[in-house]
Structure 1
């Protein structure tokens, strides 16, 4: 909301307040005449606040200067409203041959000058005007503080979203080179064994690259595309040997078009392939299960653990820490990641609530 709109809002607010007070006074013309100038000076002091003291002092954190200037403005405006304006009006009326209105006649008094009626003196017009001007000024100041806090909150949300998007892009940039590195390593190993299988692996790699380069640019993708990528990854890995790797998959998908963020599940498979010593075949296993409904996805993968640690390539996988970060950003409070590790197996279970 720009300053002109804020000013118009305050003018409309005080017009409404004074109109309501005038209606409750019975539509008295004298009430309107006596308070019309107060309304004009309230508008004046609000304009000074909105266009000068707030942007030049308050928002620049010059709090002492803002307080002093505000007090001076309120007192000067009140003096003009109470002393100068009435005297000017009386002077104009005198020039036109009209006498000022007589004040109230003094009532009977005691000998010492005290009034017999005992009624307290009403507050002075200066005091009333100070209250009217100060109330308008304070309300406008509180409104400005509220709007400023709201703008700051919106800026924080926007900056946070930008930071999250930047982090997601960084995480994606970590995933894609790692995928390509692993895939090329697999093809290189296969080329020394069987050229026919090498052609198949290149075909699988082509499909996978198409998914990574084009589909993964989207924030979400259909689940079936993520599953196709996982299947191609396993096929590409399996072509490394003429033997059948003990890898089992089970997919129970209620709706293949249910949406998921891309490349979220593959790090778990990469981790399992790397640390299960699956190439040994005997005594090893990888079991992968995906069960999906329209409201949730349940991903589970379990792999064997070798008796002794197997030394792999120097370049480590992206790992589960990457996935945890993405889950915290993309599925906050709508995911459950459980990791169980024993001496024989490593098991990961991820539950995603898609309605969130």
Structure 2
């Protein structure tokens, strides 16, 4: 019956078809007065209605729609429907009803078809049946087209999901080397003035790489693990901070929070703060606040603004662009990201709020 991707749904469609036609075929019996027994001639005459409906419906459902209409052969689809309706009308009105009359009353008995209806002429019944046949043809067509649309929509959604997963994997593959490159640059700078701290930094980096390489391969990770990763990253960055830099970290997230969050979604924002918020000669500050409440995760970062010159190769500049792409893919309509510098250009702020409830929009 219904060609669905899930057997459970297909079986349900079969049951619905069976129940509907059983009810329709037994309906003529319910219309009879059984005080004098079943009048089989009346039953078989009325049975012609569901039989003809059955033929019209499934001729369109199984044959005419998939073979002609879905292949854009509309003229042939209409032609075969007209021929089918004409054949059914001729058969039932000119052969079937007279045949029943002969079987039950004898050939010499003059009983007009539809004897129980004295007022409407025969042509009225022809028009009525023709209209009902057109309706059943339309019903079979609409149901089949809706099935086809559902299959196409399911295929489109699967293709969109595959495309999104492929793009996310591509972004993740770009992000990991980008993150590693910037961290190695930091360690390289540290080696020049403190070898012991550099060794500790390498050890801390190995912990970070374990998360990057093995613990964030899914589309989402528990928020508590991502917070642990951010803690480790900040500690790694703290080693290279010079005097005169104020670093304030405020984490308002439960230590065992299992809220699913996109991995590394905040790290580029934090990385950007360390890159542009620290000056070796001027007072600098970085303030990072991450909180979770009422189905919303918020990352708010403020830092002193010390833009790098073009000769600085500490980053390729793809980090924030990746964040934007990933947000659009994973949280469409469910995030708000405000960023920019203040009026005098001295402070850069970034506030990213993500709704973790799938059906909740910003």
Change (3 A) 1:90 1:236: same
In the aligned structure 2, how far is the partner of 1:291 from the partner of 1:7?
51
The TM-score normalised by the length of structure 2 is: 0.81
Structure 2 residue 273 is matched with structure 1 residue 265? no
In the aligned structure 1, how far is the partner of 2:303 from the partner of 2:289?
12
Alpha carbons 1:78, 1:130 under 8 Å: kept: yes
Structure 2 residue 16 is matched with structure 1 residue 16? no
In the aligned structure 2, how far is the partner of 1:8 from the partner of 1:295?
41
In the aligned structure 2, how far is the partner of 1:184 from the partner of 1:99?
103
Q: How does 1:241-260 map to 2 (within 5 A)?
A: 243=243, 245-259=245-259, 260=261
- Name the structure 2 match of 1:62: 73
- Name the structure 2 match of 1:351: 353
Alpha carbons 1:267, 1:318 under 8 Å: kept: no
Structure 2 residue 341 is matched with structure 1 residue 341? yes
In the aligned structure 1, how far is the partner of 2:154 from the partner of 2:311?
49
Change (3 A) 1:243 1:171: same
Change (3 A) 1:100 1:211: farther
Unmatched tracts of structure 2, length 5 or more: 5-9, 113-117
Q: How does 1:207-356 map to 2 (within 5 A)?
A: 207-240=207-240, 243=243, 245-259=245-259, 260-276=261-277, 278-280=278-280, 282-293=282-293, 295-306=295-306, 309=309, 311-313=311-313, 315-342=315-342, 343-356=345-358
In the aligned structure 1, how far is the partner of 2:318 from the partner of 2:203?
25
Alpha-carbon offset, residue 312 of structure 1: 1.8
Q: Which structure has the larger Rg over C-alpha atoms?
A: 1
Encode CA deviations 1:58-83: one digit per residue, 9 max, x unaligned: 22222222111111121122222222
In the aligned structure 1, how far is the partner of 2:189 from the partner of 2:3?
65
Number of equivalent positions: 340
Structure 2 residue 101 is matched with structure 1 residue 99? no
The TM-score normalised by the length of structure 1 is: 0.82
Change (3 A) 1:35 1:230: same
Alpha-carbon offset, residue 219 of structure 1: 2.8
RMSD after superposition:
3.2
Structure 1, 183-192 or 1-10: larger mean CA deviation: 1-10
